[in-house]
Structure 1
Amino acid sequence: MSPSIAIIGGGPCGLTLARLLERKGIDYVVYERDETDDSGRRGGSLDIHAETGQLALKEAGLFEEFLKYARYEDTVFRIANQKGERVFHAEEGGRDAPEIDRIQLRQILLDSIPSTKIHWNHVLKGVTLDKDGHHILEFTNGVSASGFKLVVGADGAWSKVRASITEAKPKYSGNHYIESRINPGNSLYTTMVSKVGAGTLVCLGSSKEIVIQRQGDGSYRIYLGISVPENFVRGGAVDLTDTESTRQLFLSSEFFEDWADELKDIIRHSEDFSPWSLYYIPPETMSWKPIPGLTLVGDAAHVATPNGEGVNCAMADALSLATKIATYGTDDIDRAVIEYEEDMFKRAVEHINSGLEMGAVMRHKDGPMALISFFKTVTENATQSS
């Protein structure tokens, strides 16, 4: 007998859903593309918000475990211009959104579900239908599986489940982040500790950005925000494996040559460069006819450009879907999905539009002043609505 629910993807979203179903006594299985639970995919630091991500963790019975790793001291947020001059500072504790490394959050969730309920090394190739109209999952390792009452696509921006539900596809935003690290062994590390310290520093100017964020192990993750063609990396414009040539490219007049020396020093000492192309699902596609036996959560449903809400929106999806399934039971699962999707569509449109607005502000010609003005408007609106 197959479990009632198949979850495609073992990231924070899929695992949050799995844990919530576990607590509610609803049978499920998770199929994850990684070969093991120690695949090396680490990711950055995530801020978990009280009204979404934290709420899901509380419902999952994992909030106390989360608090063991939550870094409230890293809620410090500063904005600087391209000269390195600080123009905005938000103190620790200004918002209930502590940081946690993605790998730590994922491990908390993994440890909370039976190991027998997650199948590693299962890369989904596609979803097909048998002669009776039942969904069949076909994996690249030759395995196929069927008999589920619901297949949930939690398989990220390039979801293979999505194609069986909607024609919507991610659209390139025009922007990239180039990620790198300053580790404790780096010769610049002591300077980073003294000049950056805890939390996040966002430096804006010339329609570009450098974002510096402290991680749980004390290292600093660096994001170079640039507007480049979609094939900037794949097309060979830069070979990120060649560390020195990559540094020189981003120190050139095309990118950060006119920035402050202290900020260019970060590029000069950065290591382990990797690309992050920023995509989003067009918000006008956030409505589709319900497909019996299929649904989407997290980035698979509504990938957005960064706005600080991504994992929180995904965990809210997981909580909403699990609650609806528990309410109606697996015998009326299609009704649960219909109500979940109605709720999700509204949340998704707001999330995607917020990401697009944030992206425009981060690359605005007015640099840091545009971001400060944006934050003030958001704060005022939140105060008025409360």
Structure 2
Amino acid sequence: MAAAGIAIIGGGPCGLTLARLLECKGIDYIVYERDESENSNRAGGSLDIHAGTGQHALREAGLLDGFKKYARYDDTAVTIADKQGKRLLQMGQNRDAPEIDRKDLRQILLDAIPKDKIKWGHTLLNAKIGEDKRPMLEFTNGVVLSKFKLVVGADGAWSKVRPMITPAIPQYSGKIFLESKVGHENPLYETTVSRVGPGMFLATGVGKSIVTQRQGDGTYRNYFGIQVEENFFRNGVLKLDVEATRRLLLSDFYADWAEEYQDLIRHATDLRVWSLYTLSTEDMNWKSVPGLTLVGDAAHLTIPNGEGVNLAMTDALKLASKIAEHGIEDVNRAVQEYENDMFPRGIATIAEGRRMEKVMFDEDPQAFFQALSDAAAQ
């Protein structure tokens, strides 16, 4: 079956940013996305888009004005508190890193890409090098494609493209976030509005944290950060029965936290496990493989540190620029130069993620407060 010059595996912010940039440069591509349609509701929470990275990529893609229609500049503030509810620090006001809901950013990008350039319902099952020495892609829907000039893995933490390039495997950090929502109908909604307001509210204790963040529709998402073994929520100890989860959090993790935090647990709904994995800085050294490359989390998965989507969009911009510079016929040279430029960024963000993980879950919460105070002073 014939295929486009470039296959982008994954239609998240990174893959779609790359697609839009290639569209602007007149370079042939197709995006293969696992969601069944653009209306699939798998979009996540809120993202802060930084001026020099994510916003820069959107400007180069001709989409910055569209972004600003959705950007929430009043949600840049971050309030830090201890487990007893004492407010210790506020930072980030007027920072040029406005929030936008992931679904809104996705729609901005989708609207800027021709409909026939995205193949929905294509979950990559297997990827290998074919007899012609080019990547061969097998999807769960039975479609098999090859003869690409380049396959770009923009398929996230558990990339199916990555094993063709490097043996690197994400390692569990020992931490998870349990995500829940506070919708308009939630009995705790008005209290959350008055307590948190715009932006993000972050409380940390000994080895635990709670993050509350306002979304574009005025609702809130809570993230309960705890340290448990990797399969804690899969091996029968707990299968995310909501009531059982609430009881466990209240009795074993947040029993000595202030009532305002315990109320967040009592009214938690739509609980979802978000296990934190990371690649190693040593993984950022693979030898370039003809016809293949990685961007975003597929390349440099890290513990959340505020840079993830911004670095991913920067990857997209750098790769598209290199392909335009060298042309599709010399795409392997473009990839090699892109990867040599990307490795230091990947190393830096993985190291920063590890540092943020350490202070956020430190036995001495003051380490986290001090780290954020230092950041606010810069």
Match for 1:361 among 359, 362, 370? 359
1:154-165 to 2 correspondences below 5 Å: 154-165=154-165
Amino acid paired to 1:65: G
- Could you list the per-position Cα deviations for residues 311-360 of structure 1 after superposition, in whole angstroms to 9, with x for gaps in the alignment? 00100100000000011110110110000000111000000010010000
Gaps in structure 1 of 5+ consecutive residues? none
1:19-34 to 2 correspondences below 5 Å: 19-34=20-35
CA RMSD, 1 decimal: 1.1
Name whichever of 173-182 and 124-133 sits farther off.
124-133
Q: What secondary structure is seen at the aligned counterpart in 1 of 2:273? A: strand
Match for 1:374 among 366, 371, 375? 371
- Could you list the per-position Cα deviations for residues 86-132 of structure 1 after superposition, in whole angstroms to 9, with x for gaps in the alignment? 00012530x21000011111111111100100001111111122222
2:349, 2:341 → 1: CA distance? 13
1:129 aligns with 2:126: no
- Could you list the per-position Cα deviations for residues 57-80 of structure 1 after superposition, in whole angstroms to 9, with x for gaps in the alignment? 000000000001000010111100
Match of 2:248 in 1: 249
Give aligned pairs, total.
377
1:136, 1:124 → 2: CA distance? 11
Amino acid paired to 2:319: L
1:27, 1:343 → 2: CA distance? 23
TM-score by length of 2: 0.98
Shift of 1:38: 1.4
1:267, 1:135 → 2: CA distance? 47
- Could you list the per-position Cα deviations for residues 229-258 of structure 1 after superposition, in whole angstroms to 9, with x for gaps in the alignment? 000111122222x22221111100x20010
2:264, 2:118 → 1: CA distance? 40
TM-score by length of 1: 0.96
Gaps in structure 2 of 5+ consecutive residues? none
Identity score, percent: 58
Shift of 1:375: 2.6
Amino acid paired to 2:105: L
Shift of 1:379: 5.2
Match of 1:195 in 2: 195
1:168 aligns with 2:173: no
Amino acid paired to 2:42: R
Match for 1:258 among 256, 261, 283? 256
Q: What secondary structure is seen at the aligned counterpart in 2 of 1:251? A: helix
2:43, 2:133 → 1: CA distance? 38
Please identify runs of 4+ aligned residues in structure 1 that moved more than 6 A.
none
Name whichever of 134-143 and 292-301 sits farther off.
134-143
Shift of 1:217: 0.9
Match of 2:238 in 1: 238
Match of 2:337 in 1: 339
2:376, 2:340 → 1: CA distance? 27
Amino acid paired to 1:79: I
Match of 2:291 in 1: 293
Match of 2:47 in 1: 46
Match of 1:280 in 2: 278
2:92, 2:345 → 1: CA distance? 29
Amino acid paired to 1:247: R
1:302 aligns with 2:300: yes
1:173, 1:134 → 2: CA distance? 35
Q: What secondary structure is seen at the aligned counterpart in 2 of 1:308? A: coil
1:185, 1:307 → 2: CA distance? 31
2:92, 2:139 → 1: CA distance? 48
